[in-house]
Amino acid sequence: MRKIVSLLVLVLGGGAAVALWGVPDLHAILAHSTGASPAAPPAGAGAAAHQASTPASVPIPVEAVRATRRDVPIRLSGLGNVQAYNTVTIRPQVDGQLVQIAFTEGQAVHAGEVLARIDSRAFQAALDQALAKKAQDEAQLTNARADLQRYAGLVAHQYSSQQQYDTTRAQVAQFEATVQGDQAAVENARVQLGYTTITAPLDGRAGMRLVDQGNIVHASDPGGIVTVTQLRPISVVFTLPEDAVPQLLKTMAASPPPVAVLSRDGKETLDQGQLTLLDNQIDQTTGTIRLKATLPNQAGLLWPGQFVNVQVLVETRQQAVTVPAPAVLRGQQGAYAYVVKSDHSVEMRPLTVGPFSGGVAVIEKGISDGEMVVTAGQYRLRPGVLVDIKAPEAAAAPATKAGQPG
């Protein structure tokens, strides 16, 4: 009985030892309790366990494309503000009561179109008075010319004195000058009368009305009646870094560079035109220079005060070696990229990078046409590792036919 109890105690102690030291010690405990020799572990078990603890070297999945040659347009980008090509504040040029507003706020107006009218009765009366004064003086001039003609005949026969003839001739000259002054007064009165009809000086769009019908307006009023802005064509003012000035001057010397205006998110091209102005000085506080572009705006997508993105085409690189922009990385030694070799291992290649344009980078040195360049997954790489190349479009789900579930 005592032997059985002792055996149980040994078995329980052996179980605790298994928990602490592992299963192989159980064989030794049982062998010690029974007096048998411990069984040897199967051959190769330790080597297999060691191999299982060491991960196998597997290719790293990456996306890669080949470097290609293409014509790359080089564009300079800046943030701009749309401005009306011309802005005119319509102000009265004479004083009087505003008897008619002939436009609607926001209406498209054309040059010569009537916008407003001022009470013209006083100006019409002034014109009539000037015409009457001119007629009176013209009558006196006609009479003086007749007297001069008569005195000329009398002086020739010595029936009148030379003095009387000279006096009459002076009166004729005086009346001629008076009639000329009357004509100027008539023209001035006619101009003042014309100012009572206010017309649009150019094609554009009327803004908000600044004064209502029935008010007394004055030529000295600062606000005016309405503002008319010319939208076709239209201007865009934007800035670029001062480093771009030499290239811009070189491009403008050949021909005005084309300009594209994009929405603020850069997804939509609103209009295209030409660069028309490079400012004559650089802003020293910001290190930028102001430029102006003119665009036809036939679609009417550009509006004064609108913020837009502006791109100026300054150069086109012919058949340059290009890679997608994400392939170019930056390190302490400069730009580099991972290039896939023929054995599917990668090497880190230092680059001399040109300008970026349209999502691609121009490679001036470091990569040749046709070499495979990693574009995604680079941050898991190191020189010499193997990669499993996935095409960029392979990440998208395959399209399904109509009527089939995706």
Residues 239 and 313 in one domain: yes
The residue among 193, 217, 241 that closes a domain is: 217
Q: Is residue 341 part of a domain?
A: yes
Q: In sequence order, which ranges of 22-102 are alpha helices (DSSP H)?
A: 24-34, 45-53
Residues 156 and 210 in one domain: yes
**CATH number of the structural domain spanning residue 312:** 2.40.30.170
Residues 114 and 97 in one domain: yes
Task: Report helix, strand or coil for 401.
Answer: coil
**CATH number of the structural domain spanning residue 186:** 1.10.287.470
Task: Note the pTM of the prediction, 2 decimals.
Answer: 0.66
- pLDDT of 148: 86
Give the HSE-up count for residue 351: Cα atoms under 13 Å, Cβ half-sphere.
27
- pLDDT of 381: 93
Q: Which domain holds residue 182?
A: 90-217
Residues 167 and 272 in one domain: no
Instruction: Burial-class residue 304 by CB neighbours within 10 Å (0-12, 13-18, 19+).
Output: middle
Q: Is residue 402 part of a domain?
A: no
* HEC sequence for 330-382: EECCEEEEEEECCCCEEEEEECEEEEEECCEEEEEECCCCCCEEEEECHHHCC
Using omega within 30 degrees of 0 as the cis cutoff, is the peptide bond preceding 233 cis?
A: yes
Q: How far is CA 368 from CA 360, 373, 401, in A?
A: 15, 10, 40
- pLDDT of 350: 95
Residues 199 and 148 in one domain: yes
Q: Which residue has the tokens 């705006």?
A: 297
- pLDDT of 393: 54
Which tokens sit at 372? 């495979």
Which tokens sit at 271? 């209009």
Residues 197 and 233 in one domain: no
Q: Is residue 200 part of a domain?
A: yes
- pLDDT of 242: 94
First-to-last alpha carbon distance for the chain, in angstroms, is 74
- pLDDT of 57: 67
Instruction: Burial-class residue 395 by CB neighbours within 10 Å (0-12, 13-18, 19+).
Output: exposed
Per the structure, how many domains does the chain have?
4
Q: Which residue has the tokens 């996935």?
A: 390
Mind listing the pLDDT tens digit of every residue in the chain (406 residues)? Answer: 444 444 443 444 444 433 333 444 434 434 444 444 444 444 444 433 333 333 446 899 999 999 999 999 999 999 999 999 999 999 999 999 999 999 999 999 999 999 999 999 999 999 999 999 999 999 999 999 998 888 787 777 777 777 888 888 899 999 999 999 999 999 999 999 999 999 999 999 999 999 999 999 999 998 899 999 999 999 999 999 999 999 999 999 999 999 999 999 888 999 999 999 999 999 999 999 999 999 999 999 999 999 999 999 999 999 999 999 999 999 998 999 999 999 999 999 999 999 888 889 999 999 999 999 999 999 889 999 999 998 765 433 333 333 333 3
Residues 338 and 368 in one domain: yes
Residues 213 and 103 in one domain: yes
